[in-house]
Homo-oligomer: A and B are copies of this chain.
Amino acid sequence: MTRARILITSGPTRQYLDPVRYLTNASSGRMGAALAQAALDLGHEVVIVSGPVSVTYPAAARVVDVVTTDEMLRVAGEWFLQCDGAIGAAAPCDYMPKQVSDQKLSKNGSPLQLELIETPDVIATLGQSKRDDQWVVGFALETDDRRFRAIVKLEKKHCDLIVSNGPEAIDSADNHVELLDQQGDVIETISGDKPHVASRLIHHINQRLIANRKTPHQ
């Protein structure tokens, strides 16, 4: 079989307002950990770029820790050059305060007006930069119009496949996802615990994006 080196982004990132407070989400890193295990089980090599999580990643994976979305973008970008493909299982914090205070903001009884700007999109950036022999699989987490928005993201992020799921997946043991191809067609609807979902996703990634490649990285 073809052995690939797979980059997996995982977990949340944080964007600080001041030295204490930050914006984030409840991504646990469990989907990233399950994908890593499933990929290792098929004999692939795995590099995980992870935000702060308490999940334990497989010992056989190389784990690189990051905190902010900028860091995740930079570190994932560097590792992607040496990988065959990337799976964006992280939930990077996608807004950051326009101004960050280096002192803890003191409460004064008045509302705090916060201007948030978008952070760079990690998977879209990898998707745009990918070579012909590389592939990118994204995740789309939406509360409404899921399939439509997933297809929009697939195109915008230059993904080869996209996994559509909902907010109930966050910090949960289970997941319910649709895997969509570049035409926006549903390849498989998968429900179950994250190891099961991960195993099915890696199966399809392996079949469609790895096994038929002629010039793998290794």
Interface residues of A (CB under 8 A from B): 14, 17-26, 52, 54, 91, 93-95, 98, 102-104, 106-107, 109, 111-118, 141-144, 149, 167, 170
State the Cβ distance, A13 to closest chain B Cβ, in Å: 11
Q: Counting chain B CB atoms within 10 Å of each CB, which of A103, A107, A113, A143 scores highest?
A: A143
A111 with B117: CB separation less than 8 A: yes
A95 with B24: CB separation less than 8 A: no
Contact for A25 among B21, B102, B113, B118, CB less than 8 A: B21
Known: A109-B118, A116-B114, A118-B107. A22 touches B20 (CB 8 A): no
CA–CA, A91 and B95, complex, Å: 23
Interface SS majority for chain A: loop
CA–CA, A107 and B119, complex, Å: 10
Q: Which residues of B contact A54 (CB under 8 A)?
A: 54
Q: Which residues of B contact A24 (CB under 8 A)?
A: 21-22, 24
Contact for A91 among B20, B91, B115, B167, CB less than 8 A: B20
Q: Which residues of B contact A116 (CB under 8 A)?
A: 111-114
